[in-house]
Amino acid sequence: MKFFIDTANLAQIKEAQDLGILDGVTTNPSLMAKEGISGKEAILNHYKTICEIVDGDISAEVLSTTYEEMIKEGDELAAIHPNIVVKIPMIKDGIKALKYFSNKGIKTNCTLIFSAGQALLAAKAGANYVSPFLGRLDDISVDGMNLIEEIRIIFDNYMFDTEILAASIRSPMHIINCAKIGADVITSPLDSILNLLNHPLTDKGLAQFVADAKKLS
Ligand code: G3P
């Protein structure tokens, strides 16, 4: 399973990269706004910097919602670096844009996936990734993990190459359950990734080892 970090924060991206387990980065307009980035030039430069930090797929989301504007914006984003994946929203014009980029050999990630039907359409249009939003489904009392399972079955039935990129991860349990179900990728905030490290028996065991190590020197 690939690990992506879901942030536009450069310090967090560097920290995850330094861990040695990072395969890519996802961002969205909300995450970019959180870092105070605004204006086309600043946005393109920020993606360029992320590409310099991480050698993996970097999802850069279009800000527009019409076919013509999305393909213009996506072409500009894709020109930044070969690792850029153009992130397109799950709307009718988005499906057409996915097909356009697929025909051009530009990688895409279809975002805001909340149903198996949406994932199927995006795969049919040639998306490289679909991003089902687990946490936001859980927020409205719908089992997000069930959606990952449904998409896994559908993609396996027809051997779609489209990868399931589980997004809106809120906890280490989301990551573990995605791994059990067979999501291809998780994109997560740094804290949920770091929380995978924790276990009280590890802390207790290490304290004992450190105490006993002193007896050996
Ligand atoms: O990048 C999209 C997704 O991961 C957003 O997560 O926490 O805003 O629902 P969240």
- 90: DSSP letter: S
Q: Rounded to two decimals, what is the model's pTM?
A: 0.96
pLDDT at 76: 98
What Cα–Cα distance (Å) separates residue 75 from each residue in 29, 33, 39, 71, 181? 17, 22, 17, 6, 34
Pocket (CB within 6 angstroms of ligand 1): 6, 26, 28, 133, 135-136, 167-168, 187
Indicate whether 217 pLDDT > 90.
no
pLDDT tens digits, residue range 155-190? Answer: 999 999 999 999 999 999 999 999 999 999 999 999
pLDDT tens digits, residue range 120-144? Answer: 999 999 999 999 999 999 999 999 9
**Cα–Cα–Cα angle for 171, 159, 128, rounded to 5 degrees:** 60
**Could you tell me the distance, in angstroms and rounded to a whole number, from the CA of residue 167 to the centre of ligand 1?**
6
87 is catalytic: yes
Site to probe by mutation for ligand 1, drawn from 4, 5, 6 as the one with most ligand atoms within 8 Å of Cβ, is 6
**Could you tell me the distance, in angstroms and rounded to a whole number, from the CA of residue 133 to the centre of ligand 1?**
7
pLDDT tens digits, residue range 8-65? Answer: 999 999 999 999 999 999 999 999 999 999 999 999 999 999 999 999 999 999 999 9
Q: Name all domains of the chain by residue range, CATH numbers in brackets.
A: 2-216 (3.20.20.70)
Quote the crossing angle between the two packed helices 40-53 and 10-19, to the nearest 10°. 10
| Cβ atoms within 10 Å of 120's Cβ, excluding its own | 19
* 6 three-class SS: strand
| Helix (H) or strand (E) segment spanning residue 212 | helix 200-215
pLDDT tens digits, residue range 76-112? Answer: 999 999 999 999 999 999 999 999 999 999 999 999 9
pLDDT at 86: 98
